[in-house]
């Protein structure tokens, strides 16, 4: 079993833990958490479901932007995935949008056990003002960010790679640091790479690390 396959098996153990409207009502900040964030319709729920091999762990709202809760999915006693509220073009009052953004910012800035942010962007519409807000909030607390350019199956390989490079250049221009990859829940492009990033942030010991440790002991 490869390291990526092993991690995907661990992620498949994820189950719904709880939902919270604000940081104050979130579970106690222990262990390791990785949060998923993305503009409405960026494919966040699909990515979480693909990575956990579950069809409806993260349930997409039929109305984009309606989900207002921070949802926690527990892998084990020390590790959680966190589905942050979708943000973007929801047909709700501007004041409500600002309230959602305030809670997102508070969570990213103050959640002690948060180890990294998976930021999802539609490969055809990256680096929106909302994406830049998320990057800015993460940068304020030096939180690592890994970008999934989703729906990569919508583009041929050449245009998809060009989009990847354009976003990389855009990040440099904007002064943001982040790792980045192409991702597709349909074709499963990039699933292994994303799983390994989660393994790193969630501090999961992988098969290759166990083999390396055993070899060191023998030597």
From first to last of the 219 residues of the chain, give the pLDDT tens digit: 999 999 999 999 999 999 998 889 999 999 999 999 998 889 999 999 999 999 999 976 555 544 678 999 999 999 999 999 876 655 667 777 777 778 888 899 999 999 999 999 999 999 998 899 899 999 999 999 999 999 999 999 999 999 999 999 999 999 999 999 999 999 999 999 999 999 999 999 999 998 766 666 655
Q: How many CB atoms lie within 10 A of CB 62?
A: 6
pLDDT of residue 216: 61
Q: From CA 75, how far away is CA 188, in angstroms rounded?
A: 21
HSE value, Cβ hemisphere, 13 Å, CA-based, for 184: 13
User: What pTM was computed for the model?
Assistant: 0.92
13, 76 Cβ separation under 8 angstroms: yes
Domain architecture of the chain: domains with CATH: 3-211 (3.40.50.300)
pLDDT of residue 96: 72
Looking at the chain, the number of H-run helices and the number of E-run strands are: 7, 7
44, 194 Cβ separation under 8 angstroms: no
Q: From CA 169, how far away is CA 163, in angstroms rounded?
A: 10
Integer angstrom CA distances of residue 166 from 6, 20, 159:
32, 36, 10
What is the three-class DSSP state of 206? coil
Q: From CA 94, how far away is CA 154, in angstroms rounded?
A: 31
- Write the DSSP symbol of residue 76: E
Strand arrangement of the beta sheet that strand 15-20 belongs to:
15-20, 70-76, 79-83, 32-38, 114-122, 145-150, 179-182
pLDDT of residue 185: 97
Burial class from Cβ neighbours inside 10 Å (0-12, 13-18, 19+) for residue 169 reads: exposed
């Amino acid at each position: 079993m490869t390291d990526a396959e092993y991690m995907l098996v661990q992620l498949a153990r994820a189950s719904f833990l709880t939902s919270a409207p604000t940081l104050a009502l979130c579970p106690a900040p222990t262990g390791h958490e990785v949060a998923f964030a993305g503009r409405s319709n960026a494919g966040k729920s699909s990515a979480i479901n693909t990575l956990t091999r579950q069809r409806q762990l993260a349930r997409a709202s039929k109305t984009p932007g309606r989900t207002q809760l921070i949802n926690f999915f527990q892998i084990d006693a020390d590790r959680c995935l966190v589905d942050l509220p979708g943000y973007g073009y929801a047909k709700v009052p501007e004041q409500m949008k600002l309230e959602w953004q305030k809670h997102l910012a508070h969570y990213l800035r103050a959640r002690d056990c948060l180890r990294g942010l998976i930021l999802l962007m539609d490969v055809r519409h990256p680096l929106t003002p909302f994406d830049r807000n998320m990057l800015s909030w993460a940068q304020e607390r030096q939180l690592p960010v890994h970008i999934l350019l989703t729906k990569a199956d919508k583009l041929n390989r050449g245009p998809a790679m060009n989009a990847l490079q354009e976003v990389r250049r855009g990040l440099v221009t904007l002064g943001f640091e982040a790792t980045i990859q192409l991702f597709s829940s349909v074709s499963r492009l990039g699933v292994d790479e994303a799983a390994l990033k989660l393994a790193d942030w969630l501090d999961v010991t992988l098969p290759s690390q166990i083999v390396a440790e055993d070899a060191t002991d023998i030597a």
